[in-house]
Structure 1
Amino acid sequence: MTNRGIHHVSVIAGAAARNVAFYTGVLGLRLVKKTVNFDDSGAYHLYYGDETGTPGSIITFFPWENVAPGRLGIGETQETAFRVPQGAIGYWTHRFIDKGVAHERLEKRFGETVLPFRDPDGTRLALVAVPGIEAEPAYVAGGIPAENALRGLHSVSLLLEDAGPTGAILTDVLGFRQSASEGFLTRFDSGAPFGGIVDIRAVGDFLKPRQGGGSVHHVAFRAADDAEEAAMVERLAENHGVTTTEPLDRNYFRSVYFREPGHVLFEIATDIPGFTVDETMAELGGSLQLPAQFEPFRERIEAALPPIDGRPNQSDAGSAFDDRPADEGSSAG
């Protein structure tokens, strides 16, 4: 249970080129993997993270060019937060002003300084100032000084009617412990160096969500390997009456999906085999990687995907986008 925590967060986005420009150029993350949705080869699946694509540093996107905006509601992930060194929060405030990034005033949560902001699709994000992480390795890009660079995920916050049933799964199955409470927030901590925190905001009955651009599709939690994942699946069924999908091979990890009691879509993803199964560390994110079943159709797929770097992949062919965000993890890729 040493690797428990968040593996990645997957979000629905709009234009792929705009998404890449923001997460690499503004936030300075590395485009770790450029691939396609397993059930919609006309749509990218883009992964961003640290230099090596470490689990707990990863945020991924399903970009549909013409997706309608989402609406936050009960039973949904409210916010995804990244870690920055404590002394970097002023730098990021000025950077957001300079770059025209929508952001809110600094606030305090559990004694930490938090800078909430949004990406161009309205995804709710935050930077959390964490003391003592200045010496941690940092991926440097976008002209961001190393001392200010993001250092993995900090947390996700879930907007739920009731914290209890979801908290029971976090603590009994996913390796977290309840560590603090503050107002409507209850904090669960796995002790992982990053990606180790889930906050539940319990608000009772509330508006139902509508998934779309800016909505978090699912939150994935770490399992070291297939055996640990299987044990977690068994515990979910025996102790909580929750069943999962069959294991699905996502090339870079193997996954199961389930709706937790608050209706948020959770995934359990293995740390293995990782992002270097089809690219070297130096090559990560450099070219389009396709699942084996799509490889015979590479030319058509590359022609249909919209450019993300100012140039078409092969031609000016139109997109094959479905324009509908997937609802279930088993069909999200």
Structure 2
Amino acid sequence: MTDGPDSTDGETGDGPAPTPGIHHVTCVAGDPQRNLDFWAETLGLRLVKRSINQDDPGTYHFFYGDAEGTPGTSMTFFPWTELPEGEVGAGQVSRTAFRVPEGSLDYWEDRFDERGVDYDAREERFGEAVLPFRDPDGLPVELVAVEVPDDDPTTAWTAFVPESAAIRGFHSVTLWLGDAERTERLLRTMGLTAAETEADDAAGNERTRFAAGGPVGKYVDVVETDRQVSSGRGTVHHVAFQTPTDADQSGMRDAVASMGLRPTQQIDRHWFRSVYFREFAGVLFELATADPGYASDEPLDALGKRLVLPGEFEGRREAIEAELPAVTVPRPDGKFAANRAD
């Protein structure tokens, strides 16, 4: 197995079209109602798609994002209630960070105090203020205060949180790796460039930041650690990177394969098309297209209001709904049954 193309491939135009950044992050949750209450109401993200795990249709798949489900804003969850709590360690996404407007961290600390959210003291990282916290399953999450430009591609969802504080898509993910060298070469091949390095207190080693060219979800931080890992509730299942077109995705898939990795064939996930592979240190990566998007099968103003069953699953709606636990989705004007079709 070779380490692959020269580390400058993603920067010189000789390699695949560079990824603009993160497309979505998918995590493992426990109780689905608790997950909905926290991510839709406490954090104020829009439930942009309510569906099922296409590989395990007896399990929900919740998608949260900005007002329009813009690529780079979507945090998704598989609520597997029977799984034990996981332990974050080497070979995983250890932290997922979201952008919030500068000056809004006071608001978030007050909101977390009111709602009993477990959070830590603010940190400064690469000159930015960071507020670490955990969701009800113990998933490590961060809010990073940034200046949101006037032409930002995200659209704030303000049902529960004011626009001045609303989450505006991903800031970064942090990869904890046993050996970072080959993963760093992979990131360069994908079009990210090493930007800065500083000490990391959580893992006790240096943190190296890689940057993509897009405005949202552009950073991947790499930290070496030997911490043990166990999958379960409160851990990240995979991180997906944007390959906006099929041609972009095909080129990236070929580049990944040339490094000795084993990407899957393209898989239709209904709202995007995906390719999966485990990178050298074991983190599950996905490449995801921009189209057709979350509004391709229901009106934008109706996102999240019904259980959407893609493709062949619609014909099994009655059996699938009978197997899924009943949940309600937080709304400012009341609640409605989440597993009903109407």
TM-score, length-scaled by structure 2: 0.87
Cα displacement (A) at 1:207 = 3.2
- After TM superposition, the runs of 4+ consecutive aligned structure 1 residues lying more than 6 A away are none
Structure 1 residues 132 and 38, CA, compared in 2 at 3 Å: closer, same or farther?
Answer: closer
Does 1:112 find its partner at 2:132?
no
Taking the TM superposition and a 5 Å limit, the aligned residue runs for 1:154-303 are: 154-172=171-189, 174-183=190-199, 184-203=206-225, 206-238=226-258, 240-303=259-322
Matched to 1:147, the amino acid is S
Residues 285 and 177 from structure 1, CA distance in 2 versus in 1: closer, same or farther, beyond 3 angstroms? same
Structure 1 distance, partners of 2:176, 2:186, is 16
Displacement of 1:191: 2.6
CA–CA separation in structure 1 for the residues paired with 2:41 and 2:128: 26
Q: Shift of residue 293 of structure 1?
A: 1.8
Which residue number corresponds to residue 323 of structure 2? Answer: 304
2:159 alignment partner AA: A
Deviations 1:160-183 (A, max 9, x none): 1222211111111x2211111002
What is the rounded CA distance, in whole Å, between the counterparts of 1:207 and 1:162 in structure 2? 12
Letter of the structure 1 residue corresponding to residue 306 of structure 2: S
1:313 aligns with 2:339: yes
Structure 1 pair 312–225 and aligned structure 2 pair: CA distance change class (3 A)? closer
Q: Distance in 2 between matches of 1:147 and 1:232?
A: 37
Deviations 1:123-172 (A, max 9, x none): 10000011244785411122x22111111110000111222211111111
Check conservation: 2:307, 2:338, Cα contact below 8 A: no
- 8 Å contact kept, 2:306–2:339: no
Structure 2 residue ranges without an equivalent (≥5):
1-16, 200-205, 329-335
**Which amino acid letter does the alignment assign opposite residue 220 of structure 1?**
A
Letter in 2 for 1:141: A
Separation in 2 of the partners of 1:275 and 1:234? Answer: 27
Count of residues in Structure 1 that have an aligned counterpart in Structure 2: 309
Percent identical pairs in the alignment equals: 46
Check if 1:16 corresponds to 2:32.
yes
CA distance, structure 1, for counterparts of residue 261 and residue 279 of structure 2? 8
What is the root-mean-square deviation in Å for CA atoms of aligned residues? 1.5
TM-score by length of 1: 0.89
Determine the C-alpha separation between the residues in 2 that align with 1:300 and 1:255.
27
Letter in 2 for 1:275: Y
Which one-letter code corresponds to 1:140 in the other structure?
T
Identify the residue that residue 10 of structure 2 maps to in structure 1.
Answer: none
Name the residue aligned to 1:77. 93
1:36 aligns with 2:55: no
Q: Deviations over 1:179-210 (max 9, x none)?
A: 1100210000103111111001112xx23311
Q: Give the drift of 1:286.
A: 1.1
CA-CA distance at 1:52 after TM superposition: 0.8
Q: 1:139 aligns with which of 132, 152, 157?
A: 157
CA contact (8 A) 2:306 2:338 kept: no
> Structure 2: how far apart are the matches of 1:133 and 1:102?
30
